[in-house]
Amino acid sequence: MVKNCGQKWWQEAKYGMFIHWGLYSQIAGEWKGVRTPHIGEWIMKHQNIPISDYEKVACEFNPTGFNAVDWVRLAKDAGMKYLVITAKHHDGFAMYHSKCSKYNIVDATPFGRDPIEELAEACAKEGIKMCFYYSQAQDWHDPDGYGYGPVPDERKNFKRYLDEKCKPQLVELLTQYGDIGLIWFDTPMIMSNEHSRELANLVKNIQPDCLVSGRIGNQFGDYMSTGDNMIPVLPYLGDWEVPATLNDTWGYKYFDENWKQSKEIVECLLKINSRGGNYLLNVGPDGRGIIPQASIDILRCVGRWMQSNGESIYATKVAPLFPYEMPWGYFTWKPGKLFMHVLEWRSSVQVHCFASRIKKAYLLTMGEEIFYTQSYSPASQQHRVTFQLPEKPVDPLDTVVVMEINEEEMLLDTLNTL
Ligand code: FHN
């Protein structure tokens, strides 16, 4: 179903920061000497940690290295426009001061501070949209939450959990921290149509402009969330978002060093943006409240590129689908401007089937004009443009050539015999 979320800020943002942070970050992927091969935030489930043992982790959780301003500035320097933090993940532990469950970071840990309050304040100052992740169905701590181990799911009173924990916590999140950009619901599991509708209405009744993610279930989301790390192959109409990891976990694992390189991140961003989506990229701070240095380095490197090339990313729309694959890169698109992203450098680039008349072509960062020829072969009924590029790329990550074109909509030939 094609969704239009109706919120310009989200449609123009294109790039956001996901933060998975909780008691699992303190466990850091290893329990009683056994490393989990799975995603870190699932360690309680995958290693069958008894609730009473997991609760004790809270007594050690004292992330004094946490600095809200640093996190928000990192997101901003990275070029990200919104921040989605786990207010409550499947483990049921609230990372904010909840009045309806003592199982929260202020009441249950020596830390005693409310990081969500500090982040909300920093986001408001830095102009970043504050958003919350909330696991609405899975709650491994509430006896009626989906996935609570000691009781089989079919014997639970799921409605009681929804009414007594999930909904009151959502009300808290929507009333304690100012304007919220969106609630990122996840894993709807046994949510009925009615359950999803009720949660969506609850959000909209308190903050009408607050979006709800596609994973609220039953098509009640304002936009479509793809599978984790899954990029649609083709352009996709409507509003959608790809949640993605920087390594192989969401929650911190001290031994996961399988980091994507900055160039790979730029390439993912281009694939997603050119096909019409937003990229929600995750960091997993550790139990001290520190974002891993490798994540910081990658984000800052991409951020430097974003600072000079942001025009080719923000507020772009789904780009027309070229009939040929381009081994050198991607196109992003705004009406009247086509951005050619050359990731694999070469002295000239040929674009087949491009039928719109180009008024001007230039390097985005320097304004230097690029020489090009446009031709049309009546016999094969095909257009072709050839660009002569400078000897070296402006940026080894990706050099952007802007084409100003006449038409609002782009004209492309269909494939034909050359
Ligand atoms: O189970 C969660 C997982 O822990 C993580 O939060 C991801 C992020 O998209 N969502 C679920 C799996 O899809």
- Name the 3-class secondary structure at 283: strand
Answer yes or no: is the C-beta of 5 below 6 A from any ligand 1 atom: no
The contacts of residue 45 (CB under 8 Å, 6+ apart) are 90, 140, 147, 149
Residue 9, SS3? Answer: helix
On the 0-12 / 13-18 / 19+ scale of CB atoms within 10 A, 296 is middle
DSSP-based three-state secondary structure for 53: helix
Q: How far apart are CA 76 and CA 104, in angstroms?
A: 28
Question: Which protein residue has the closest C-alpha to ligand 1 atom 5?
Answer: 250
Cα–Cα distance, 33 to 392 (Å, whole number): 50
The number of the ligand 1 atom at minimal distance from the alpha carbon of 225 is 9
d(CA 393, CA 403): 17
Q: Report the nearest-CA residue for atom 6 of ligand 1.
A: 250
CB 228 less than 6 A from any atom of ligand 1: yes
Q: What is the pLDDT along the chain (418 residues), one digit of tens a residue?
A: 899 999 999 999 999 999 999 999 999 999 999 999 999 999 999 999 999 999 999 999 999 999 999 999 999 999 999 999 999 999 999 999 999 999 999 999 999 999 999 999 999 999 999 999 999 999 999 999 999 999 999 999 999 999 999 999 999 999 999 999 999 999 999 999 999 999 999 999 999 999 999 999 999 999 999 999 999 999 999 999 999 999 999 999 999 999 999 999 999 999 999 999 999 999 999 999 999 999 999 999 999 999 999 999 999 999 888 899 999 999 999 989 999 999 999 999 999 999 999 999 999 999 999 999 999 999 999 999 999 999 999 999 999 999 999 877 788 999 888 7
Nearest atom within ligand 1 for CA of residue 18: 8
Question: Which DSSP letter does residue 190 get?
Answer: T
Q: Is the CB of 187 under 6 A from ligand 1?
A: yes
Q: In what side-by-side order are the strands of the sheet with 348-352?
A: 348-352, 382-388, 371-377
DSSP E strands in 319-391: the ranges are 329-334, 337-342, 348-352, 358-363, 371-377, 382-388
Which DSSP helix (H) or strand (E) runs through 184? strand 182-185
CA 258 – CA 260 distance, rounded (Å): 7
Q: Is the CB of 186 under 6 A from ligand 1?
A: yes
> Does the Cβ of 214 fall within 6 Å of ligand 1?
no
Closest alpha carbon to 280 in 319, 239, 252, 312 = 239
Measured in Å, residue 366 CA sits from the centre of ligand 1 at: 41
Q: Residue holding tokens 């080894």?
A: 396
Q: What secondary structure letter does DSSP report for 186?
A: -
Q: Is 60 in the pocket of ligand 1 (CB under 6 A)?
A: no
pLDDT at 418: 77
* Best probe residue, ligand 1, of 25, 38, 228, 246 (max atoms within 8 Å of C-beta): 228
Residue whose CB lies within 8 A of the most ligand 1 atoms, among 19, 39, 230, for a mutation test: 39
The residue assigned the tokens 């997101």 is: 75
Write down the pTM of the prediction. 0.98
Q: What is the predicted pLDDT for the residue at 82? A: 99
Cβ of 209 closer than 6 Å to ligand 1, yes or no, is no
Q: How many angstroms does the Cα of residue 40 sit away from the middle of ligand 1? A: 10
Q: Whose CA is nearest to atom 4 of ligand 1?
A: 41
Distance CA 272, CA 277 (A): 5
| pLDDT score of 145 | 98
Specify whether the CB–CB gap between 33 and 297 falls below 8 A: no
250, 280, 281, 282, best to mutate for ligand 1 pocket (most atoms within 8 Å of CB): 250
Give the integer Cα–Cα distance in Å for 129 and 9.
9
Confidence (pLDDT) at 32: 98
Q: Is ligand 1 within 6 A of the CB of residue 394? A: no
335, with CB counted inside 10 A (0-12, 13-18, 19+), is exposed
Give residue 229's pLDDT. Answer: 98
Mutate to test the pocket of ligand 1, among 186, 224, 241 (most ligand atoms within 8 A of CB): 186
**CA 135 to ligand 1 centroid distance, Å:** 9
Determine the distance separating the centroid of ligand 1 and the alpha carbon of 251, expressed in angstroms.
Answer: 10
- Between the CA of 228 and the centroid of ligand 1 the distance, in Å, is 7
CA distances from 317 to 35, 231, 307, 309 (A): 43, 16, 19, 16
